[in-house]
Amino acid sequence: MTNIFDILEQHFDEMVAIRRYLHENPELSHEEVETPKYIAAYHRALGHEVREGVGGRGVVATLRGGQPGKTVALRADFDALAIQEQNDVPYKSKVDGRMHACGHDGHTASLLVLAKALNKIQDEIQGNVVFIHQFGEEIAPGGAIAMIEDGCLDGVDVIFGQHLWAPVEHGKIAVCEGPLMAAADGFYITIKGKGGHGAKPQETKDSIYIGSQFVVNAQQLLGRRISPVKPAVISVCHFEALNPFNVIADSVKIKGTARVFDEETRELIERELEDVLKAACLVMKADYEYDYVRGYSAVINDRETTRFFIEQARQTPGVEEVVICEPEMGGEDFAYYLEKVPGTFYFTGARDPEKEEAYPHHHPKFDIDERALLVAANTLAKATLEYLKQHAVSSVI
C-alpha cells in the first residue's frame, strides 16, 4: 500500500495554512456559516459524497474505498469561542471577541488534509471512511446529538476522534480505556429569604447565611454519600448577593458544576444537592428554586477498540510515547457517538516542549505547536487503515 504518512507529510504546509485560515476567521458555536461552507467545498473538490446542514450546521463527507469492507467514522469539531485573542501572530483572529482558543481549527485542518491523502489511495482502501465535521461542541447541547439524529452514524462500525491537547507535549498521545472525560452538569439555585439591616439579622431570613451553608455542606456529599473510589467534583463557581455592606440580601443566586463518570453517581448528586439546599433553607424558613441541568454525558472509550488504537498509535510516525492517562474532569459531546458505536477519543500532545510557558485551553493566549497537526492526522490514518485492513471482506468464495 502507498505510504499514507509520506503523503500527509507532503501536505503538512497545507494543514498549517488551513488551520491558520480558520484561526483568522472563527465562528461561534451554533452560529457557524462560512466554516461549514468551506469544509463542504473542500470535500466536494475531492469528489466525496457530501451532506450539508446535518443536524443544523454539520457537514458529513463519505469516501468509498475501492474494495468492500467496514466503515470508519472520523470526527472533528469546528466552532470557536467568545474570547478576545491576545496573541501577536500573523494568523491572529480577524474577528473581535472571537477566537479559536481550543484547537478546533487544528482538528478541522488535520481531518481535511487526511481526507485528501486518503483520496489519493482510494482504490487501495478496504471499506469506507466517513468524515464528521461537527458544529457547536463548545456550548451544550452541542452538535453531536443533532447530527446523530440526522443520520451521521448510519452504517458506521467504529469511530475515532482526537483533541489537540495543550497540557501534553508534542510527540505524545494520551488515552485510556473506559472513562476518559466526565459528564458535565450545571446547577442553578435561587435562595429566597427576607432581607434586612445587617445590625438586626434576627429579623431576616438570611439568604447569605443559607447560601454559605449550602456551599460548605455540598462538599460533604463527596466521600460520605458518594463512594471515595468513584471520582466526582462539585464546584460552586458563582455566588451573587448584590447589596451594600450593611444590608442582608433578600435573595442569593448560586451557580456551579458537577462532574462524574457514572450515571448512578450523577443521579445521586442531582437528588442530594437539593436535599442539602432544602435542609439549609428549612432552618431559616426560606424558599428556594433549584434547577439541575444535565450537560454532556461522560466520554467512555470502548475498551477493545482503545486497546487496538494504542497498539496502532505506538507504531505511528511522529508518536514518541503513548501515555495511559488519568481521566479528565472536562466534558466533550463526543460521548454521544460512543454511546452509539464503539470507538476511541484521545488527546494529541500540542504543547511545544521548547517553550517555557504554555497557555491553557480557553485562554486568550492559547496556541498550539502546529507539528501536532501532522501527528493527529497520522494517528487517525493509522487507526483507520489498519482497522479496515483487519476487518476486510474476503474475496475468496
Is 341 a domain residue?
yes
Same domain, 202 and 337: no
Secondary structure letter of residue 392 according to DSSP: P
88 among known catalytic residues: no
What distance in Å separates the CA atoms of residue 72 and residue 365, rounded to the nearest whole number?
35
Which of 390-393's residues contact partners 24+ apart within 8 Å by CB, and which partners?
391/69, 391/70, 391/126, 391/127, 391/157, 392/67, 392/69, 392/126, 392/127, 393/67, 393/68, 393/69, 393/126
274/371 same-domain check? no
Residues 207 and 161 in one domain: no
Among the candidates 238, 258, 293, a domain finishes at 293
* Annotated binding-site residue? 163: yes
Is 203 annotated in the active site? no
Q: Give the SS3 label for residue 258.
A: strand
- Any known ligand binding at 30? no
Q: Which of 293, 324, 340 is at the close of a domain? A: 293
> Are 9 and 112 found together in one domain?
yes
Shared domain for 34 and 84, answered yes or no, is yes
Grid coordinates standing for 9? Answer: 507529510
What is the helix (H) or strand (E) element at residue 238, kind and residue range? strand 232-240
Task: Identify whether residues 97 and 25 lie together within a single domain.
Answer: yes
Q: Give me the catalytic one of 27, 32, 77, 79.
A: 79
**Do 327 and 309 belong together in one domain?**
yes
C-alpha distances (whole Å) from 343 to each of 78, 162, 242, 262, 392 are 20, 11, 48, 18, 18
Residues 12 and 122 in one domain: yes
Same domain for 144 and 212, yes or no, is no
Per residue in 34-79, pLDDT (tens digit) is 999 999 999 999 999 999 999 999 999 999 999 999 999 999 999 9
Please tell me the predicted confidence (pLDDT) of residue 356: 78
pLDDT digits (tens, 9 = 90+) for 252-267: 999 999 999 999 999 9
Does residue 397 form part of some domain? no
CATH code, domain carrying 162: 3.40.630.10
Is 357 annotated in a binding site? The answer is no
Of 293, 327, 355, the last residue of a domain is 293
Asked whether residue 21 falls in the same domain as residue 59, the answer is: yes
355 assigned to some structural domain: yes
Q: Are 392 and 125 in contact (CB under 8 A)?
A: no
Q: Is residue 123 part of a domain?
A: yes
Q: Is the pLDDT of residue 269 over 60?
A: yes
**How far is residue 387's CA from residue 397's CA, in Å, rounded to a whole number?**
22
Cα 74 versus chain centre, distance: 14
Confidence band, pLDDT 50/70/90 cuts, at residue 357: confident
C-alpha cell at 361: 485551553
Q: What whole-number distance in Å separates Cα of residue 368 and Cα of residue 352? A: 7
Residues 286 and 321 in one domain: no
pTM passes above 0.85: yes
For residue 396, is pLDDT > 60?
no
C-alpha dist (Å) from residue 356 to 59, 169, 352, 359, 366: 38, 12, 9, 10, 14
- Of 32, 85, 137, 206, which residue is the catalytic one? 137
Provide the pLDDT for residue 394: 64
- Is 102 annotated to bind a ligand? Reply is yes
Q: Is residue 396 part of a domain?
A: no
Residue 395 lies in a domain: no
Cα-atom radius of gyration of the chain, to the nearest Å? 24
What residues make up the domain containing 23?
Answer: 4-180+298-390
pLDDT of residue 223: 85
Q: Which CATH number belongs to the domain containing residue 205 in this structure?
A: 3.30.70.360
Tally of domains within the chain: 2
Per-residue confidence (pLDDT) for residue 397, from 0 to 100: 43
In sequence order, what DSSP letters do the residues of 287-314 get, joined into one string?
Answer: EEEEEEE--PPPEEE-HHHHHHHHHHHT
Q: Are residues 252 and 331 in the same domain?
A: no
State yes or no: 104 annotated in a binding site: yes
